[in-house]
């Protein structure tokens, strides 16, 4: 058997190492419950609040606390939630907190007067993931619009606490964002 030159041996060794390294590379496997080629944003209004007059920052009622618990069931466990956003009021934070605690996520505060900034942050920081945004009756449809989707319902009545708006943001910016309206928790009778 002929002897290989040092240079030839070095080339063979390098080729073997490259081949071995290439066989160890794995393609990413989709995570169970991951959103996939879109960003999913769940947008809800805070749950039922105390309507006592002159309360500067009303807390949730018992019905509101129950609805905040129901929010955990409506966003399936296999949906890998990456962030929870809330305005800085007691009622929105209390609506978001049970789900945030269950998923071991902090509640991140946002300014409801700066919805384009929130939308840009979600698109930039959470592509292909799922997030929750808790707002108010007069901001959740505007949040959907800031994310680039059309309103799935024309208005949210002040007495309605049960809307869950699901916004789908394709990662391809040429595709339009879409939104659907769902209801969750116990339906309130007028």
What was the pLDDT predicted at 37? 87
- Model confidence pLDDT, tens digit, residues 85-126: 999 999 999 999 999 999 999 999 999 999 999 999 999 999
More confident residue, 36 or 94: 94
Contact 161, 67 (CB under 8 A): yes
Please tell me the distance from the alpha carbon of residue 134 to that of residue 148, in angstroms, as a whole number: 18
Residue 25: is its pLDDT beyond 60?
no
pTM higher than the cut 0.85:
no
The predicted pLDDT at position 103 comes to 96
Tokens 């879109």 appear where?
38
* Per-residue CA distances from 131 to 49, 53, 84, 93 (Å): 23, 33, 6, 15
Stated as kind and residue range, the H or E segment containing 115 is helix 115-125
DSSP helix/strand/coil, 123: helix
């Amino acid at each position: 058997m002929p002897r290989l030159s040092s240079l030839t041996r070095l080339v063979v060794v390098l080729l073997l190492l490259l081949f071995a390294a290439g066989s160890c590379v794995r393609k990413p496997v989709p995570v169970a419950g991951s959103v996939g080629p879109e960003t999913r944003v769940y947008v809800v209004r805070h749950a039922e609040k105390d309507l006592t007059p002159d309360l500067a920052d009303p807390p949730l009622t018992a019905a509101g606390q129950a609805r905040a618990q129901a929010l955990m069931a409506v966003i399936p466990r296999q949906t890998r939630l990456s962030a929870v956003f809330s305005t800085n009021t007691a009622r929105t934070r209390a609506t978001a907190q049970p789900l945030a605690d269950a998923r071991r996520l902090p509640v991140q505060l946002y300014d409801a007067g700066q919805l384009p900034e929130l939308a840009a942050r979600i698109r930039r920081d959470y592509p292909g993931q799922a997030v929750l945004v808790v707002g108010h009756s007069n901001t959740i449809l505007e949040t959907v619009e800031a994310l680039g989707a059309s309103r799935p319902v024309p208005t949210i009545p002040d007495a309605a606490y049960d809307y869950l708006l699901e916004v789908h943001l394709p990662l391809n910016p040429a595709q339009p964002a879409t939104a659907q309206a769902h209801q969750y928790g116990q339906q309130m009778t007028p």
